Amino acid sequence: MKNSDRILSDKSILDVFSGESGENPFPIFAKMRTMGAVIPIPSPMGEKDRQTWMVTRMEEAMQVLKDHTQFTVDGSSMANNSSIWQNNADPSAPPTFLTAKSLVSVDEPDHRRLRRLVSKAFTPKYMESLRPRVQEIADELLDQVQQRGEMDLVKDYAYPLPINVISDMLGVPQADRTKIRGWSEAIAHGLGLGRKDPGVAEQIRAFGEYIVQLVAEKRQHPAGDLISQLIAIEEEGDRLDEAELISMISLLIFAGHETTPNLIATGTLMLLDHPEQLKKLKANLNLVPAAVEELLRFNGPSTMAGPRFATEDIELAGQQIKKGDMVIPVLKSANRDELQFTDPEELNITRTIKRHLAFGQGIHMCLGAPLARVEGDIAFSTLLRRMPNLRISVPREDINWHFMLSSQGLTSLPVTF
């Protein structure tokens, strides 16, 4: 590796994990792809006894994400390895998806068992049945700001829309949603690979304790919501123990808070940054589903997939990967792979996309992808139909980003309409 490449790998690449790369990490990703489909980097965990690799291109990222025999998400199953989130975890705290078995931290056969228990609630058919309620929430949110002629698109629309949807699904009381938002934000902003901010452990504990209490209340007063359904399945003896139940619910709540809001907010900014594409979309709202896929490809919610660990010595893209090495698929880089897309650095809402990796791939592909697509479709269609003159109301350089657990998001997006 050339000296210039080594400088990139040591400093700039690690900045992608910390958020220090700023708003636009894509030039770094482009440089990484010229260095190779799989490149060695310093361990973001500060470990000296194993190599860490970044996967920059689509084909190799797909291989890592889909092959759960040679790569595992469960670092604790490897000799001398531990879960990246369980380090220094408080053993007395309630289990959450960060500290106990969950969909994101186990492979087969446990993964199949856990996923099956919630998959019925996340089928495309069921997600489509939610359209009237999602539409109702979108209109209610815009009704609140319509007369003002301005809003913060993040706080007034992109964030509350998916949160109200997932909270309705799960049966989270309206009065508790502000608390949950605070916990989710604290966890998302306070954790990263090799990073754990002061105070985040207390937030994780409070989040877990709340879910334990919520489950206890649902046991006493079951309803038609998803949490009640999961409890009923568990009480029929169908393989969900208490820790798995609490962990599953924490994952569903957290995922609903931190991914689709990024799609709506970042996607809106990307459209405003590309006025010719925005004009084309406003002229034909039937293009919105295709536009959502392109926005997911172009700048999706997640920068990278959860780390995998090699279960054996293998060769990948000419690199010798040792058993126990950490392998990180960079989704945003793979989605701009020049070998897969024509003009990948251009936003093109009419692009025909065979596949992208915004939702991952393989058995760990995002369970909520069908819901995110419904929410994105309605969010953009409703916004552009009701507010066709939407524009940013502050200087573009004043728009701030924050780095969250494996993703980037906008702190706010002031707009007028």
Tokens read off for 89: 């975890």
Q: pLDDT tens-digit profile of 241-293?
A: 888 888 888 888 888 777 899 999 999 999 999 999 999 999 999 999 999 99
More confident residue, 4 or 52: 52
Q: For the chain, what is the mean pLDDT?
A: 86
The answer to whether the CB of 163 falls within 8 A of the CB of 261 is: yes
Helix 288-299 to helix 260-273 angle (10° resolution) is 100
- Specify the 3-state DSSP secondary structure of 339: coil
pLDDT recorded at residue 254: 82
pLDDT recorded at residue 20: 58
Q: Give percent helix, percent strand, percent coil of the chain, each to the nearest 5.
A: 55, 10, 35
Q: Angle at CA 109, nearest 5°, toward 68 and 184?
A: 80
Helix 242-258 to helix 226-235 angle (10° resolution) is 160
Pairing of strands 150-152, 414-416: antiparallel
pLDDT recorded at residue 3: 40
Q: Which residue has the tokens 């980097």?
A: 41
Residues of the chain above pLDDT 70, percent:
85
The answer to whether the CB of 407 falls within 8 A of the CB of 385 is: no
Taking alpha carbons only, the member of 191, 141, 193 closest to residue 163 is 141
CA atoms of 308 and 227, how far apart (whole Å): 29
Q: How far is CA 214 from the centre of its chain?
A: 24
Taking alpha carbons only, the member of 374, 329, 391, 344 closest to residue 134 is 374
Residues of the chain above pLDDT 90, percent:
55
Total domains present in the chain: 1
Q: Which domain holds residue 137?
A: 3-416
pLDDT recorded at residue 236: 63
Q: Look up the CATH number of the domain holding residue 188.
A: 1.10.630.10
CA atoms of 392 and 399, how far apart (whole Å): 9
Does the pLDDT value for residue 407 go beyond 80? Answer: no
CA atoms of 413 and 398, how far apart (whole Å): 10
**Residues forming a β-bridge with 391:** 416
CA atoms of 130 and 254, how far apart (whole Å): 20
Amino acid at 173: P
User: Would you put residue 354 in left (φ > 0), alpha (ψ -120 to 50) or beta?
Assistant: alpha
CA atoms of 214 and 211, how far apart (whole Å): 5
Tokens read off for 160: 């509350």
Does the pLDDT value for residue 154 go beyond 50? Answer: yes
Segment holding 380, helix H or strand E: helix 369-386
Q: pLDDT tens-digit profile of 299-352?
A: 999 899 989 999 999 999 999 999 999 999 999 999 999 999 999 999 999 999
pLDDT recorded at residue 104: 80
Does the pLDDT value for residue 5 go beyond 90? Answer: no
Taking alpha carbons only, the member of 264, 95, 257, 93 closest to residue 179 is 257
CA atoms of 337 and 55, how far apart (whole Å): 11
**Residues forming a β-bridge with 150:** 416
**Residues forming a β-bridge with 45:** none
- Please give the backbone phi and psi of residue 211, each rounded to the nearest 5 degrees, phi first: -65, -40
Taking alpha carbons only, the member of 386, 368, 155, 413 closest to residue 271 is 413
Does the pLDDT value for residue 46 go beyond 80? Answer: no
The answer to whether the CB of 264 falls within 8 A of the CB of 375 is: yes
Predicted structure pTM score: 0.89
pLDDT recorded at residue 111: 87
pLDDT recorded at residue 76: 72
- Please give the backbone phi and psi of residue 176, each rounded to the nearest 5 degrees, phi first: -95, -5
CA atoms of 364 and 66, how far apart (whole Å): 8
- Please give the backbone phi and psi of residue 149, each rounded to the nearest 5 degrees, phi first: 80, 5
Task: Kindly indicate the confidence band of residue 11, based on its pLDDT and cuts at 50, 70 and 90.
Answer: low
CA atoms of 160 and 156, how far apart (whole Å): 7
Does the pLDDT value for residue 206 go beyond 60? Answer: yes
**Torsion angle (degrees, nearest 10) of CA 238, 242, 245, 249:** 160
Does the pLDDT value for residue 84 go beyond 60? Answer: no
